[in-house]
């Protein structure tokens, strides 16, 4: 065999072809036509540097992909509900829960915190002290500006969407199906009432603590 052909044959048979599997990268090291599977742990001599580069690139993609998905989910949710910032209170229960509720209008203080856990407040709707406390805190921060109350509901919905994605990903080990379900949860019409209605703070709040 001519020298040039032998050299070419040697280069072909000794090349390292770097590829990745779903879990971790590996290199096919071909010597004399026999493939040798070199995984990241237990790399044979001569294949280490190539394999480390493959593993480094794969690790970076695997690390930052969930972050990018969370960012995309947050943007999607905010875009879907952003018009809430221009909405007002409504006359259906918002008066009882916020702008005509004398306990909520006193803000967050010792007396109102105690009353939030009392049976007296339960007469308004249900016994949900954390909902009352969150509405009192909103009043402390925003007064009776409805924009603040609506945006806090939206904030909880964004966080709930991200938590759902992270929980499903951890349970199923499948990133894209988890992202799809979380996106569907974020923009599903059934959640409009929970996010857009200030009185439904109890819904987004209970979902938040359930996800935790």
Mean pLDDT for the stretch of residues 52-75: 81
Kindly report whether the global pTM for this prediction surpasses the value 0.75: no
Does residue 154 contact residue 76 with C-beta atoms inside 8 Å?
no
Q: In what order do the strands lie in the sheet with 25-31?
A: 16-20, 25-31, 34-39
What pLDDT, on the 0 to 100 scale, is given for residue 1? 53
Question: Which of 200, 118, 191, 116 shows the shortest CA–CA distance to 161?
Answer: 191
Q: How confident is the model at residue 123 (pLDDT cuts 50, 70, 90)?
A: confident
What pLDDT, on the 0 to 100 scale, is given for residue 18? 42
What span, in angstroms and rounded, lies between the C-alpha atoms of 29 and 37?
A: 7
Q: Across all residues in the chain, what is the average pLDDT? A: 82
């Amino acid at each position: 065999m001519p020298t040039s052909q032998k050299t070419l044959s040697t280069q072909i048979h000794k090349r390292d072809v770097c590829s990745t599997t779903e879990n971790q990268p590996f290199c096919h090291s071909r010597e004399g036509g026999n493939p040798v599977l070199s995984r990241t742990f237990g790399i044979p001599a001569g294949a280490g540097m190539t394999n480390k580069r493959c593993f480094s690139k794969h690790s970076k993609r695997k690390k930052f992909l969930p972050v990018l998905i969370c960012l995309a989910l947050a943007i999607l949710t905010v875009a879907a509900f952003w018009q809430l910032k221009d909405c007002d209170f409504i006359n259906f229960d918002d008066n009882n829960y916020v702008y005509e509720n004398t306990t909520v209008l006193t803000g967050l203080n010792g007396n109102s915190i105690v009353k939030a856990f009392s049976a007296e407040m339960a007469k308004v709707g249900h016994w949900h002290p954390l909902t009352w406390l969150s509405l009192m805190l909103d009043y402390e921060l925003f007064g009776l500006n409805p924009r603040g109350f609506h945006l806090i509901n939206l904030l909880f919905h964004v966080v709930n969407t991200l938590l759902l994605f992270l929980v499903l990903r951890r349970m199923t080990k499948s990133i894209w199906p988890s992202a799809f379900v979380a996106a569907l949860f974020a923009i599903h019409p059934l959640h409009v009432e929970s996010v857009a209605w200030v009185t439904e703070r109890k819904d987004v709040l209970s979902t938040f603590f359930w996800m935790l």
